[in-house]
A and B are shown apart, each in its own frame.
Chain A
Amino acid sequence: MNELRQIMADTVEKLFSDQVTKKLKEQAEAAVFPDALLQAITENGLLHVLVPENMGGVSGQFADAEVIARAVGRHAVPLPVVEQIISNYLLASAGITPPDGITVFAPVRDSETINLHDGAVTGTATRVPWGRKADHIAVVTDEGIALIKAGDFSLTENQSIASEPRDTLEFNGATAIASGSLPSGMTAHSVFALGAMMRASQMAGAIEWILEASVQYANDRVQFGRPLGKFQAIQQNMAEMAGHAAASGAAALGAFQAADLAHEGNVDSTFEIAAAKTRISEAAGIVTSHAHQIHGAIGFTYEHDLHFRTRRLWSWRDEFGSDSYWADWIGGRILALEADDLWPWLTTRPT
């Protein structure tokens, strides 16, 4: 990790450790929006990490954004952070200065298409994260990116398994107050993949935290006169968790680094993103299962901190394409190769 990235990691870790308390997460689930935290995140420039300096941003790389996404997952930050990072990136790339307030992007499903015609936006986007809180929506249309003001569409509230807002937005000739092209080489599907990439890193962060909490619990909790961690059956499960945590971290970082290479025009990073989302979504099921097993009944209570990460993992592994979706996508690419070309192809991929 370079020095700048390390400083950013330390800043984010400190901010979230101090402010993302259990109480704050509980209140967020009871619809008390953490305005002060969002303000601190904004003031630190985190939402503008991928925005160029001449538009008020940080001119960071995707690998810098990974540090933030990882921490968002680690601390189960109940705010649209990665959603705003993507929105601001898309707008800035289209030459639109990201507006003040909250901007999220839509659609978030691969199957949904939204049309832009004569400056009017039409179509439906379901399960848009934090749609109800947005001041603006950056809509990915068939004609590029279009910025829509809140109030110019109808909204139906819905939520994720982790009690985060996932709302349906219906655009019926909404006015594009600004519009522009997607970043060079990108399609609606590659925006969807960016969402998958963010979720991959958030999951890796949540898994990191869960592993640490499980190790801590195994060392503290005494049964039969010994800490749980002294039992070989527990050690075996914890080691398995640790392997998945290590793989998740490596896969997530790999996707963001590939995205940086893609940005430089060297490679299409969709494979690395697909591999990360597949690998980590698989890990999510195993890690949550082991974590709840070791925590026993206390981990099944709302009172305990564990569920803020496990419920998010169950939500995130489905979003922006599940492991089945992306595995199928990878399989399709691989089966288009000759079998004997698998290895020569794999060795051209960035590591």
Chain B
Amino acid sequence: MTAVRTEAPVSAAPRRLPGAGRLKVTDPVVGVWLAAAAVTLIGWIVVTIDGGQFMTQSNFTGILQNSVALGLVAVGQSAVILTGSLDLSVAYLISLGTLVAAETMEGGSVVTAVLAVLALSAAVGLANGLIVTGLKVNAFIATLGMAFILRGYIEDNYTGPAGDVPASFQRLGYDRIGFIPISVFLLIAVAAVLWLITKRTRLGHHMYATGGDEHAARLSGVRTRRTVIYAHVLCALCVGAAALFLASRLGAGAPWAGTEARYDLDSIAAVVLGGTALAGGRGGVAGTLGGVLLLSVLDSIFNQLSVDPFFKNVVRGVVIIAAVALYARPFRRRAKARDEARAKEKGALA
């Protein structure tokens, strides 16, 4: 059972060959990248009609730059969601991460700061994982509670920006090679590691199995609790990386670094846009990156057209619902057909 689920994304590819053209588009991962491309194209046309220039180097740099923070968080979030969990504490963890990074860098070395942020993140992720698996608190409530805890700590100790990031570390946020910001390589590296873990290691297979059917996974010998804990720690580490990036971008720690951009809900939206099932067990990092790109291309188009920032939210909401609706349909229909076939089989056996 679990093996089937785990292999599904890989082994399904050859089977799809006959009708590749049609089926490929309905595959959410392909779908979201196509959607991102389509949105880029439409944006190009619309912005050009509006009299602006969309296909410029600086605009591309901006889009990539804007994808990094959300991308890092969303990649981590997809690991948790794949496992059938959820992390709502990411926004406050980012804020706290930037503060810890900037304050440690002010007094000590960059290396200490990086280690401190990653240790803090790992601890929060571990706590999340232990609460979810040990206390059996639903992930939604557990991580929401963790968000409250972090928020209280931040609001009690910080009233405004704190700490100072040295120029050497700010290069992470501002330097670029050609027109590609070097922070994009950080995102690519983190995403590649997560992709390798989820698709190529035992832990990753266990994550898919746990998310697909926790009970079946446990019966098949997967240590599901441990898997969920690892997923939460992985997610928190990605969030720590995002916090480091934002600290280098802002030049200081900010209590609102994570909450103002709503990284908690936005990252979940990006993950789901990328075709990962909220219930877990299906999807992956590649789709998530597509979702992130889609969101930041949209943002860039709105900026170019100088759309009212509040109206942007309206369109964002519509796009998220519409995109998920688009590929939820054929996907669910196929699942339903499969369920029905299975039910028939059972009926025939009985």
Partners in one complex: no
